[in-house]
Amino acid sequence: MSIRESDTPRIRRTPEESRANILAAAEQLLVEQGPQSLRLADVAKAAGVANATVLHHFGSISAVHTALMEQMIGHLVDNIMAIEIPADAPAEARAVGLKTLFDALETPGAARLAAWLELTDETSRLTVVREAVRDVAQKKIANTAVPEDLAEDMILLSVTLALGVGLFGPSLGKLIGKPEGRARDLTLQMLLMNFQRMAG
């Protein structure tokens, strides 16, 4: 028990690559199987590395959790910040922007991330979350022609409903026997109509 190579040759990555690889596997696990599948052995297996490798790069499994939350939040914020809603645009263009914002949040990934944060009560603890909300809100509100209060309400409403639809829409729709995306369509349609009214 000494002289042995394993059947598969080792893959040697840069630390950044390795971390990225592990987080990508973890993210997929989260979205497809839920937070309770984010165990050390599961994550390592999904990433195709040994348990010890995960610990080598992150130190502990809960550090993996935190890193995953931060990465997913970061990506989400990037996507949202990239959306342009010019203040002087016509109502129609603003509607398109809202739809895009909605799209970014309504994905299973975002919704499950949010639910995970919520259920683990990490929402208030993670500064990333607070910063993300502040940044997004600031930019979006600044770029809007409507009064600040109204803009804040619109954002609160959009984000809340988008996440809700992303998390519950598919299952509930299927249970009731509705076509995929029905909840999403209904909600978006209602939101757009409501905003046209709000914005005059």
Partner DNA sequence: TCTCTTATTGACATTTTTGTCAGTAGCGTT
Partner DNA sequence: AACGCTACTGACAAAAATGTCAATAAGAGA
Point out which residues bind DNA (CB under 7 A).
Answer: 1-2, 4-6, 9-15, 18, 39-41, 49-53, 55-57, 59-62
Name the residue nearer to DNA (CB basis): 33 or 196: 33
Position 183 contacts a second copy (CB under 8 A): yes
Per CB under 8 A, which of residues 48..87 are in contact with a second copy?
none
Residue type at position 118: E
- Residues in binding contact with a second copy, number by CB under 8 A: 48
Cα–Cα distance, 96 to 173 (Å, whole number): 25
Find the binding residues for a second copy in span 101-140 (CB under 8 A).
112, 114-116, 118-121, 123-124, 129-130, 133, 137
Distance linking the first and last C-alpha atoms of the chain: 78
What Rg, from alpha-carbon coordinates, does the chain have? 20
Residue 20 or 199: the one with the smaller Cβ distance to a second copy is: 199
Compose the 159-178 pattern: x for residues touching a second copy by CB under 8 A, - for all others. Answer: xxx-xxx-xxx-xxxxxxxx
How far apart CA 200 and CA 197 sit, in angstroms, is 5
Binding segment for a second copy (CB under 8 A), chosen from 1-9, 46-54, 92-100, 157-165, is 157-165
Smallest separation (angstroms) from DNA to the CB of 60 = 3
Query: Exposed, middle or buried by CB within 10 Å (0-12, 13-18, 19+), for 104?
Result: buried
Q: How big, in percent rounded to 5, are the helix, strand and coil portions of the chain?
A: 75, 0, 25
